[in-house]
């Protein structure tokens, strides 16, 4: 502290999973970061419920994947199925197994399976881990009151719950402060798109009678398709606590306790004597900010993109924002990343955000009310025929929402100015199917090595040059990285499968796990590094011939 002003490298406004992910990413890179959050207490609404395979891979990289799994209220092996019924104690319609790829067990496509866990539990693990990182400070009960910036940094004024003011001087400020972002308003960014498709209620309830629902098959989520109260419900733990959500038309007055109980009775098919613990209302939007940056101030997560919460994308998309912005800010602050690297944050993330918004909107178009058919709960042939029709509709349309590896792992940065094209085309866009590709901009293909390790475990904190065959030692790139001060690890696992998987002898993998360049040799190692680090081109003498031949 100097002259009443606290100094840090990055000021993060917002203590949800996005801000915490950014703080952890920066902390693992030794970057001083101060995270502030206006709320001193943490909400216990489940909100996001699944930490997807890619987010879990980041947790693995941070060394906390097992802590996330241990924090889940449901035991290991609890089915990650989605069960569709007319009512909770009604007729079965269809089941989608292994939703979000949450079933334990190794899969060649990823290093960590997804984990069902309420968002507030994820936040708790991230918060505890961030507190162990020496360069990270967390302050809750502190709100942003104002900011100004100049060419050298950002100065923010903060106010705590006791009315005490604090001034903070930072190199950069990141608004990870949610859909009602204060930071977004302060930099004059605007959200564009479709507002408030419908209003929704989300309750947390306690009802021992709901245990009986497991007799028809345990599930992390039950879709309840009926004309009285189409809803979604599921267990938050094995202690009789459940979430329960349903839509209401826009403009509906606040529902009373009696009305909430009536909705639950209708959706469940009987009165379960539920105790309402919390009530949360929310609206589904399809919005994206007109810009993610103003000078040294950035937006991340819900502060710059919003979409209907169908597909398990929201929190996970924000965590990926934190990772992307984190390594780029760290590179800039450590001197080996250029300004173009920061410009690449919006250039790379916006297309991914748009794609996810489109997917979430498509999922939102087929909800329980759209699945209703006459006679759905009838006995006899009429009811059986109606339920068979709806079951077929579910299996035709809803796997797109619950089996999304094509989006989660297949989203890429092809064509980014921070990648080096190799003349190949990116893989076709897909939703449920994921075909690994080392095309520049794609996520580096995963492989379980013969010694039991994940290939990803070999990747370093900076760039990694992956040698896929026995030839070459990466000498030219290693020497260029030393000249530029770029952190680079060279790994050669010696696995014969890698050459075919990556389609080249060498692949340069970014700190976020995406391929930046691949090839069988390199003529301008420093030029490649300048591009992928956003340093721009530099006039220099041609490389010696022995460095041009191969790598």
pLDDT tops 80 at residue 41: no
Task: Evaluate whether 345 touches 304 at the Cβ level (below 8 Å).
Answer: no
Q: What is the mean pLDDT of residues 309-314?
A: 85
Provide the percentage of residues in the chain whose pLDDT is more than 90.
Answer: 83
Q: Outline which parts of the chain fall under CATH 3.40.30.120.
A: 412-548
pLDDT tops 90 at residue 6: yes
The CA distance from 486 to 516, in Å, is 14
pLDDT at 126: 98
CATH of the domain spanning 5-72+117-194+286-363: 3.50.50.60
Q: Outline which parts of the chain fall under CATH 3.50.50.60.
A: 5-72+117-194+286-363
- pLDDT band at residue 278 under the 50/70/90 scheme: very high
pLDDT tops 80 at residue 527: yes
pLDDT at 69: 97
pLDDT tops 90 at residue 427: yes
Write down the mean pLDDT value for the chain: 92
CATH of the domain spanning 412-548: 3.40.30.120
Pick the CATH number of 74-115+198-283+373-407 from 3.30.9.10, 3.40.50.300, 3.90.230.10, 3.40.50.261: 3.30.9.10
pLDDT at 31: 98
- pLDDT band at residue 285 under the 50/70/90 scheme: confident
pLDDT tops 60 at residue 328: yes
pLDDT tops 80 at residue 522: yes
pLDDT tops 50 at residue 546: no
**Contacts by 293-296, CB closer than 8 A, 24 or more apart:** 293/342, 293/345, 293/346, 294/149, 294/187, 294/188, 294/189, 295/149, 295/154, 296/149, 296/153, 296/154, 296/171, 296/172, 296/173
pLDDT tops 60 at residue 261: yes
Q: Which two tokens stand for residue 313?
A: 């994308």
The DSSP H or E segment spanning 332 is helix 314-334
pLDDT tops 50 at residue 478: yes
pLDDT tops 60 at residue 539: no
Q: What is the mean pLDDT of residues 94-104?
A: 95
The DSSP H or E segment spanning 277 is strand 275-283
Q: What is the mean pLDDT of residues 71-89?
A: 93
Q: Outline which parts of the chain fall under CATH 3.30.9.10.
A: 74-115+198-283+373-407
Q: Which two tokens stand for residue 208?
A: 């021992």
């Amino acid at each position: 502290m100097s002259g009443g002003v606290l100094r840090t490298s990055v000021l993060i406004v917002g203590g949800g999973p996005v801000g915490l992910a950014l703080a952890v990413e920066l902390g693992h890179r030794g970057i001083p970061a101060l995270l502030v959050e206006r709320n001193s207490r943490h909400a216990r609404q489940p909100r996001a419920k699944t930490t997807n395979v890619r987010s879990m891979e980041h947790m693995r990289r941070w060394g906390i994947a097992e802590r996330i799994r241990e924090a889940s209220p449901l035991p290991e092996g609890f089915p990650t199925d989605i069960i569709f019924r007319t009512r909770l104690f009604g007729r079965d319609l269809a089941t989608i197994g292994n939703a979000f790829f949450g079933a334990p067990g190794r899969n060649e496509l990823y290093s960590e399976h997804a984990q069902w866990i309420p968002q507030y539990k994820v936040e708790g693990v991230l918060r505890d881990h961030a507190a162990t990182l020496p360069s990270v400070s967390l302050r809750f009960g502190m709100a942003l009151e104002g900011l100004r910036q100049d060419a050298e940094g950002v100065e923010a004024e903060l106010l705590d719950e006791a009315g005490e003011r604090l001034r903070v001087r930072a190199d950069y400020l990141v608004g990870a402060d949610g859909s009602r972002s204060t930071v977004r308003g302060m930099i004059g960014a605007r959200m564009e798109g479709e507002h408030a498709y419908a209003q929704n209620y989300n309750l947390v309830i306690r009802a021992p009678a709901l245990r009986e629902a497991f007799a028809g098959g345990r599930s992390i989520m039950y879709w309840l398709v009926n004309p009285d109260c189409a809803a979604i419900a599921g267990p938050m733990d094995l202690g009789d606590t459940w979430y329960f959500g349903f839509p209401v038309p826009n403009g509906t007055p606040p529902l009373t306790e009696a009305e909430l109980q009536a909705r639950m009775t209708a959706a469940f098919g009987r009165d379960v004597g539920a105790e309402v613990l919390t009530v949360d209302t929310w609206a589904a939007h399809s919005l994206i900010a007109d810009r993610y940056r103003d000078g040294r101030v950035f937006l991340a997560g819900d502060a710059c993109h919003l979409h209907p919460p169908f597909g398990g994308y929201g929190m996970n998309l924000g965590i990926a924002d934190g990772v992307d912005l984190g390594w780029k800010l760290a590179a800039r602050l450590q001197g080996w990343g250029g300004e173009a690297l920061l410009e690449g944050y919006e250039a790379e993330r916006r297309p991914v955000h748009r794609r996810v918004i489109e997917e979430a909107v498509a999922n939102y178009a087929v909800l329980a009310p759209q699945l209703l058919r006459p006679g759905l709960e009838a006995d006899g042939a009429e009811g059986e025929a109606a339920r068979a029709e709806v079951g077929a509709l579910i299996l035709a349309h809803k796997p797109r929402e619950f089996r999304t590896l094509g989006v989660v792992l297949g989203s890429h940065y092809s064509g980014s100015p921070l990648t080096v094209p190799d003349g190949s085309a990116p893989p076709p866009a897909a939703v449920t199917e994921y075909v690994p590709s080392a095309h520049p901009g794609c996520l580096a293909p995963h492989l379980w090595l013969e010694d039991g390790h994940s290939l990803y475990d070999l990747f370093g904190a900076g760039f990694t040059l992956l040698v896929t065959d026995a030839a070459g030692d990466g000498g030219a790139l290693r020497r260029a990285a030393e000249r530029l001060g770029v952190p680079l690890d060279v790994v050669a696992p010696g696995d014969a499968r890698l050459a075919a998987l990556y389609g080249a002898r060498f692949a340069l993998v970014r700190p976020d796990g995406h391929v930046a360049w691949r090839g069988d040799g390199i003529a301008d190692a420093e030029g490649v590094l300048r591009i992928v680090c956003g340093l721009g081109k530099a006039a220099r003498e041609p490389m010696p011939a022995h460095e041009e031949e191969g790598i």
